[in-house]
Structure 1
Amino acid sequence: AQIVTFGTMAARGVVRDVGRVMNLPYAEVDQIAKQIPNSPGAHITLADALRLTKSLSDLYNRDETVKRLIDTAQMLEGMPRNASTHAAGVVITKRPVYEYVPLAKNDDIVVCQYGMVTLEELGLLKMDFLALRNLTVLEDAVQLLKEQQPDFRLADIPEEDPETYEMLAAGKTSGVFQMESTGMTGVCVGLRPRNIEDITAIIALYRPGPMDSIPQFLECAHNPEKVKYDHPLLEPILSNTYGCIVYQEQVIKIFQELAGYSLGQADMVRRAMSKKKVKDLEKEREAFLHGDEKRNIQGCAARGIPEGTAQLIYDKIYDFAEYAFNKAHAVSYAVVAYQTAYFKCHYTREYMAALLTSVLDNSDKVAGYINECRDCGIALLPPDINRSLDRFTVEEGGIRFGLVAIKNIGRGFIQAVMKEREASGLFRSLPDFCRRMAGSDMNKRALENLIRAGAFDSTGARRSQLIQIYEKVLDAAAARQRQNLEGQLDFFGMSQSRGQAAEDVHLPDIPEFTAQERMTMEKETTGLYLSGHPMDAYRDIVRRLRVPQIGKVLEDFNQENGPTRFADGQYLTLAGVVTSSKTKTTKNNSLMAYV
């Protein structure tokens, strides 16, 4: 069963909730709530707030309404406010879960009525199952490759492929799991990883807290003589990470090897550190230094470690353990990162096709990966009614767009097109297509978008011609389909015309749309430029001037740890196509432009 998580009434939130129920003006309640200190990582109660904030305390003492508000809020503070489903948490039991804990339903999901901490205290096993899109990408890439190499197995790829590591060291990380961000790419280039262990360390280090160790880590990685250990017993524990504490497992091992903790005892300290239980940790310092007879812990002193050295080591662990990463988790991610890098390096077309399919609902990412394909010398072939499948596929000339990339085209209709093509051969023309697909989910919007995206270009007709006639062709095909279904033949049926057939609609003799018009159509129907790009003529100039890509700027600011290459207040020169602009007068009567 999945685990329920309880949102509790914290100090600010409970004041706002009680104020709402008491029908107090929102603005007044908001002002009171904002006087409660909001310290990330620290649990501030209403009692703490009254003690720490003089203005709030004065208001409480002189205003009866505020006193009643806060007194009521204090009675409710800390109580569950709402219940939701833990996204990945699952409880695994030997017998049916209801024999151990009460169950409930959140929507259609069966959940335990106890939270994570209570379940663990009861001795039940809680596992987190994380879904990774990248595992699907790898599986899809393997299936594409098996069309040429039926015996290929992902498990057989070498673990230390020099070309893959050279690609990572060169910063070609676009599309590589966990390595795509500007910051991660920078660390990758700086470290020049040589094995899975190095990739594991990069993944664990690039987080708030451990990031401070990155310069030292890189320096020691390239200059082994600079690696220093506070005590010789630390060398076998920290040698793989060049003397830096990176993983939770290293913290556990230090407690075990230097102070004689059991693995279970060491793990309890690690958990206390990760949750910053200050009182417990100060008590634990004494046990680490001098031992604890009740728990059979020897302490560092018993192993001949000077007290000053032991204090230094404990301080380093204390400062770092809140952020230390679980190595088992980091290694799992590193293996997936390496596999995606290997595939990108050696089977680029198959990997990029699978990657593009996985991000079809994100046009920005699709555009970014298309640019990466171009940089790798891979042609992106436009959607084609006779060659495209639903997803991106690999052809000799490059990667073929999937029909699902075109707006207003349902998957059911695409499957019907593929099935008809397989059963009766390629479509010869638009009328042939409409006749054969009559009775499916085809509609005018879908057909128009197929034409505008260029899916019928291979039939030899111009898009301008097909846009002129597609409604007539579709109507004729639909009318013929209805007649065939009805099977009716009135008294005069043998002599009367059955109406115009789809094949009888002739192409008008008109010029094709301009290249710019075709690109605009593609952008409207797929969110992308397919047959070219308005910036193509300027790419070399832009590259020479080192103008940053807008996508790279946005990506840098969207990083979890904040931007690394750009900064607020920085002036940038950009190059691009202006698709829309508007002006707006601000409250200060100045003019602002949105471009």
Structure 2
Amino acid sequence: MHDKRFTHLHLHTDFSLLDGAIQIKPLARRTAELGMEACAVTDHGNMFGAISFYNNMKAQGVKPIIGCETYITRGSRRDRAGAAAPGEKANFHLILLAKDLEGYQNLVRLTSKAYTEGFYYKPRIDKELLAEHSKGLIGLSACMSGVPSAMLARDCFDEAAAAAIEFEEILGKGNYFLEIQEHGLDAQKRIRKPLVELSRRTGVPLVATNDAHYLMPEDARAHDVLLCIGSGKTVQDPNRLRYGLPNFYVRSPEEMWAIFGEMPEVLTRTVEIAERCDLKLPTGINHLPVYPIPASDVGLSIDEYFEKVVREGYERRRQQVWERQSARGQLRHCMSDYQERISKEIAMIKQMGFPGYFLIVWDFIRYAKEHSIPVGPGRGSAAGSLVAYCLDITDVDPLQYDLLFERFLNPERVSMPDIDIDFCVRGRAEVINHVANLYGRDSVCQIITFGTMASKAAIKDVGRALDLPYAEVDRIAKLIPPPVRGRNVSIAHALEQVPELRAARENNAQVKELIDLAQRLEGCARHASVHAAGVVISPAPLQELVPIAVSAKEELTTQYAMSDLEKTGMLKMDFLALTA
């Protein structure tokens, strides 16, 4: 443990799309190497990486602090003009950190409503929304684009003081802090004394932050190129967005103490804030929606109704399939085997708490078939379930093919069942619409996915940003081998495998820079889109449980990608669309 400790409370991962260049796994390793006890994530306007950050930090023994750098409007979030005077920004930045589960839930609500109610170029909140969902949150005043730094930069001291006091009133005494940063920028130096004076007059404490956007000092050039990729500019453009000095990396505690050592309280305060943040996300909870039992069976429990429907399906299969196969001598097992298997599966599904899951899938497949929407016969391990066969979820008799139920559900590794369903592409939307009508439109949405800068794409992106000749960049990109078993070959592996690529890098300084920069950005999230198949169904309005976003096509999506969503216990379904 350091005698002089420091916690990063303002940090951007690559989920601050095309602005942050810090990938989460290397960040977790680096903070552990630096002996840091805690670290925050505060991506721009979203919580895309929150679950991955939480789990990776915990794996390295570092306390994760979930936060967000929100965009907050001057006026109403519903007002596109933002109540800004001519020449002034309509939006400011505000860091919010979750102290506990209540704070996390409020952050989920705020970032969701920023998309659904306040989106205008950026997902925006306002003071009204912040006041409504302020419990469990700590606020920091952010960078030069935050309040009150932007006001101090315009020499509006009284306005800055009023704003600081207002935010402290909204968040509660002791829950709002003024950020002081030092990256060598003239604007920061100019407001440093006014910021200290503002803290003295208002009583709002100062806290040191570093607004980290890349991991190591040597990543500064790659981050500069990333900004060019995001803005469509080249490094030669004098008017492009740039950070200037290479100081926006994850500084060590020693470096932060070297900068702010004469103000030790702004450093020790970071640790005090981190100690107040003690979020423990619940684990092992499955958020299954409640299947609506029909009025004719209203007295039955979910377990009882599930067994009733399965037994009815079993009887139908017996009459329509197994008796006919038996008469032709084609039934490979006796009916007592079927009876034993169905009873065993029913008991196991009840024991694991999944009757509702099977009823949900049974219902939307039944809807599709009743509305002449073609449905696939089933795929994957679900084909090993006799219950799935009796519910018409699959058309494969597992006993006829000696398929194991334990490949699908196993009490020794309790996880949500995963049944992929194929629908005709022309009917998929109708089935999803049925699900939304049944469980509530605010409880059903599609799942976000992130495109990353894979090896070839990274080389092409970097080449454009460096303004290199297209033919040369394309030649280098084509030296990357094609994907192997669906996985892209990394630049590092390509350099090992392709002598021509290795020679090009060694013999040409321009190509070396191209490849090295691409390698630093490889794997960064580049853009968000909608998962081709994934749909989440929630027992409550989604934004009570997970953050939601709005896609470029104005479709509601989760902010968490599928793998992270599953870790939160949400029910996700794969509605796969197939063409003939």
More strand by percentage: 2
Assess same fold via TM > 0.5.
no
Q: Which has the higher contact order (CA 8 A, sep 6+)?
A: 2
TM, length-normalised to structure 2: 0.22
More helix by percentage: 1
TM, length-normalised to structure 1: 0.22
